[in-house]
Amino acid sequence: MTRPTSEPTVEVTHGGSPGRERDHRRGKRRGRGGGAEQSMVPDADFTSYYGRPIVKAAPWEHDIAYYLFTGGVAAGSSLLAAGADLTGRPGLRRVARLGSLGGLLASIGFLVHDLGRPSRFLNMLRVAKLTSPMSVGTWILSIHGPFAALASAAELAGMLPSRWQGGPVRLLLAAGRPAGLAGALTAPPVAAYTAVLLADTATPAWHAAHEDLPFVFCGSAAAASGGLGLLGSPLAEAGPARAFAVGGALVELAAERRMERAMGLSAETLHHGVAGRWVRASITLTVAGAVGAVAGRRSRALSAVSGAALMAGSLCTRMGVFEAGIASARDPKYTVVPQRERLERGEPVRHHE
């Protein structure tokens, strides 16, 4: 009966007994205190059970991160489509409505893929639960979806040859504007609820971000959908998309800074490893896209490139936040240390009348 020779230390400390290969790598990095990804704060001193995770990471594939992105594109595009419709910008309206439809279909695709089969999406509609952001989101999506889809169908019908535009198709065309407006009013919750969806978990990085994540996600949705408008609409009509995209990018960047300050220790996860790469790419692409969008006001090509960069930046933001949460759940440090510090500061969470 001997203890592992590589672990002669007496206290069971974090990283002391790496369980899986993933943990093994991390244990090594921390153990030797070096490597390219040095933490900004000194390694926290804490105890854990063989370095194993305490909370469980969400068992979600990247589907959910893509869903956060496509849902944002769909929501922002619905808003742009309604505005373009009301202000007589048919080019912008077309790309925004199609973007909204595409985003919506992709979102439902990712959701169903994550759940396994379509009937499981319907099963979610058996209850309406305010305490479950996923239930709320399902209902938001079920209310927004048909309106957005109807408006997009009207757009598609408008692309048909005029001799086919009689009868029921004319009815569809007439429904386009009211459906589009209803879709626009129900769109922002689609972009915002996903932030609550992530924050209402025990995943340290997501929960710690709960104050600012809705602004990051809504800003990101505006940047992505505005970017799509810039990419697809004629220069003469792209003004509002440009303003929406640049405004969204600014909100996203500012909210992200604020969020990191509020997150405490778990903000680290936004800078390390895979999540760190996504976040760095997101900031670069969003800044470049916003600058390009402003500078390229008179260039169709530069506008399109900037739009694409903004969309890519938004996708990277979602991936970064998603990966940071998973990383924060896998390392018990992010669960133990903040709770321990809170207790030591003498602020245990207790109920007060």
Nearest approach in angstroms of CB 253 to other proteins is 14
How many residues form the binding site for other proteins (CB under 8 A)? Answer: 103
Q: Is 211 in the site for other proteins (CB under 8 A)?
A: yes
CA–CA gap between residue 301 and residue 307 (Å, rounded): 10
Write down how long the chain is: 353
Give Cβ neighbours of residue 34 (< 8 Å, ≥ 6 apart): none
Residues 108-127 that bind other proteins (CB under 8 A): 114-116, 120, 123-124, 126-127
Distance of closest approach, residue 232 Cβ to other proteins, in angstroms: 16
Binding positions for other proteins, 74-113, rule CB under 8 A = 75-76, 79-80, 83-84, 86-89
- 334 forms part of the interface with other proteins (CB under 8 A): no
- According to CB under 8 A, which one of 99, 145, 292, 332 is a site residue for other proteins? 332
What angle, rounded to 10 degrees, do the helices at 273-295 and 239-263 form? 150
DSSP characters over 173-215: HHHHHHHHHHHHHHHHHHHHHHHHHHHSSS-HHHHHTTTTHHH
DSSP 128: -
Rounded to a whole number of angstroms, the distance between the first and last alpha carbons of the chain is 54
Which of positions 268-327 make contact with other proteins (CB under 8 A)?
A: none
Residue list 215-244, contact with other proteins (CB under 8 A) = 215, 217-218, 221-222, 226, 236-237, 239-241, 243-244
Burial of 44 (0-12, 13-18, 19+ CB in 10 A): middle
Binding test (CB under 8 A) with other proteins, winner from 157, 275, 315, 336: 336
Binding mask 188-207 for other proteins (x = CB under 8 A): xx-xxx-xx--xxxxx--xx
Measured between alpha carbons, how far is 179 from 184 in angstroms, rounded to an integer? 9
| Interaction residues for other proteins, span 6-65 (CB under 8 A) | 8-12, 17-20, 46-50, 52-60
Contact code string over 137-166 relative to other proteins, x by CB under 8 A: -x----------------------------
